[in-house]
Amino acid sequence: MGFAAPSFDLTGRVAVVTGGNRGIGRSIALGLASAGASVAILARDANRNAAVEEELEAFGQRAFADTLDLTDRSTLGPAMEHVEAALGPVDILVNNAGTADISGGILSQDEEAWDAALAIHLTATMLLSRVAASSMKERRGGKIVNLASMYAIFGAGSLPSYGAAKGGVVQLTKAMAVELAPFGIQVNAIAPGWIATEMTAVVRDDAAWSDMHAMLMARTPAGRWGDADECAGAAIFLASDAARFVTGVMLPVDGGYSIAAPSCSH
């Protein structure tokens, strides 16, 4: 029996990345385009969307951006229709969009902020996946990649809404993976560790968070913050034919944070 070399080529594929106009989402969108995919981004900021759309087109790929609020359920179906009209049927869906509400814990948790966190991280992921999977099922193939977090497995005392939502994303990933496998659809999750983005800037730059910053770096065997672009490789792998027999997993991209004891030091 010969050896079939794994292919990471995404030429001819159409990908959608939510929250694809900054941070990890932007890096994943650019990574997918670099691998040959036509990429659509769905996000709220029209100016950022336009800037990233130009970056995507610089790879020589078709690109599309739709400006919408992913917590508004009525916009999700039409948004996917807009993508298909512009680029064609969706082969890859990356559910990345999200926010972090540092409430301090459930004793001070605002109910509206709680609802918003679940709406963007969990409900939008389910609804967009349902739309995409319905089409993928007819074509007997597709990839859904969800963004989880280390807080899906560790307690998030100061961010209960974020932790609960990301834990839900992991379980939703597993449920969809089981359901959709017979149709040739793989569903997986990426769990970033501490990545240098706008969302985490306060921990890196604010002196009030210096103790937490020191603890995180001591806990991370790699000894540094991750770069958003370092999540793109995982997304390309999971979106490609190289991962055809990989489904239902949560892939950490965390410099070893998830495997190190809290007392880890260098």
- Per-residue pLDDT of 136-162, as tens digits, reads 999 999 999 999 998 888 887 777 888
pLDDT of residue 197: 79
Residue 171 within any structural domain of the chain: yes
* Catalytic-role residue among 59, 64, 114, 162: 162
**Which domain range does residue 119 map to?**
14-198+225-257
CATH number of residue 94's parent domain = 3.40.50.720
pLDDT of residue 228: 93
Q: How many CB atoms lie within 10 A of CB 21?
A: 26
CB 51 within 8 A of CB 102: no
Residue 216 within any structural domain of the chain: no
Given a cut of 90, whether residue 244 has pLDDT beyond it is yes
CA–CA distances in Å: residue 16 to residues 58, 88, 202: 17, 11, 29
pLDDT of residue 129: 98
pLDDT of residue 265: 46
Quote the CA–CA distance of 234 and 227 in Å, as a whole number.
13
Given a cut of 60, whether residue 266 has pLDDT beyond it is no
Residue 203 within any structural domain of the chain: no
Location of structure tokens 């939510």 = 18
Asked about 162 being catalytic, the answer comes back as yes
- Per-residue pLDDT of 179-227, as tens digits, reads 999 999 999 999 999 888 777 777 777 777 777 778 888 888 899 989 9
CB 89 within 8 A of CB 135: yes
Question: For residue 192, what are its two tokens?
Answer: 């970033």
Residue 20 within any structural domain of the chain: yes
Residue 37 within any structural domain of the chain: yes
CB 203 within 8 A of CB 213: yes
Split into its structural domains, the chain has a count of 1
92 vs 204, higher pLDDT: 92
Quote the CA–CA distance of 26 and 10 in Å, as a whole number.
17
Q: Which residues contact 249 (CB under 8 A, 6 or more apart)?
A: 188, 189
- Per-residue pLDDT of 39-70, as tens digits, reads 999 999 999 999 999 999 999 999 999 999 99
Quote the CA–CA distance of 23 and 240 in Å, as a whole number.
22
pTM, full prediction:
0.93
Residue 208 within any structural domain of the chain: no
